[in-house]
Amino acid sequence: MTNGFKNTVTTSGQLDELYAAPQSKALIKELDHLTDNYRAFVEKSPFVVLATSGPSGLDVSPRGDPSGFVRVLDDRTLALPDRRGNNRLDSLRNIVEDPRVSLLFMIPGVGETLRVKGTAQIVLDENLCQSFEIKGKAPVSVLVISIDKVYFQCQKALARSKLWDPDARIDRSELPTAGQILQALDQEFDGGTYDREYPEYMKKTIY
């Protein structure tokens, strides 16, 4: 990668010289299984970020549902339903080629997050898929994730970002709408109609 910067870090040894050694409490937090406390984070979380890797590169995808939608099958196994989306299937295509995944669990109003690393299978078991049914719609597949490492992250990043602070919210009008973004990419696309119709469309297609 060339970006014009000459003073860059290229070895782990350089990092060790730049940064202090990790505190002991940062090391003992990493386990190969869910404790009761870590399980509580999974079961209360309505939102997780899923990171995958494949021949076409890296991908990160938001996943959300009612709290506890990522199911704890046992202390080393999670199940995540693959809900209806845009059918790009970036995450699933990556998992087919490289099963390694990483998850970041977030809970509204809570500063700590939970990180999970492991490997995923795309499972089509009918009973498992049906067990995730919402509003009469079951997911086509479920990701069953074997945990390699689990680790909780302190509050600093969310505190700095003020992510849950109502006073830090940005009015939606300060950003382009989805229709405006799409119309800028395709001048024949009717962005105004898209924006007007999308709320009703989402109600019909969210599951």
Percent of the chain clearing pLDDT 70 (strictly above): 99
pLDDT at 145: 98
Say how far apart CA 155 and CA 159 lie, in whole Å: 6
Contact indicator for 80, 95 with CB cutoff of 8 Å: no
pLDDT in tens, 98-155: 999 999 999 999 999 999 999 999 999 999 999 999 999 999 999 999 999 999 999 9
Edge-to-edge strand ranges of the sheet holding 100-106 = 57-64, 47-54, 100-106, 113-123, 141-153, 77-82, 71-74
The DSSP symbol for 10 reads: -
pLDDT in tens, 54-107: 998 999 999 999 999 999 999 999 999 999 999 999 999 999 999 999 999 999
Q: What number is the average pLDDT over the span 23-44?
A: 95
pTM: 0.93
Domains of the chain, CATH where assigned: 22-161 (2.30.110.10), 170-205 (no CATH)
The CA angle 91-93-95, to the nearest 5 degrees, is 70
pLDDT at 2: 57
Q: What is the largest CA-CA distance in the chain?
A: 58
pLDDT at 166: 96
Contact indicator for 59, 52 with CB cutoff of 8 Å: yes
Confidence of residue 1 (pLDDT cuts 50, 70, 90): low
- pLDDT at residue 190 above 70? yes
pLDDT at 56: 86
The CA angle 19-21-28, to the nearest 5 degrees, is 135
Say how far apart CA 100 and CA 120 lie, in whole Å: 6
The CA angle 121-125-126, to the nearest 5 degrees, is 150
pLDDT at 90: 95
Task: Name residue, tokens 């937090």.
Answer: 29
Q: What number is the average pLDDT over the span 32-49?
A: 98
Average pLDDT for the chain: 95
pLDDT at 207: 93
pLDDT at 65: 97
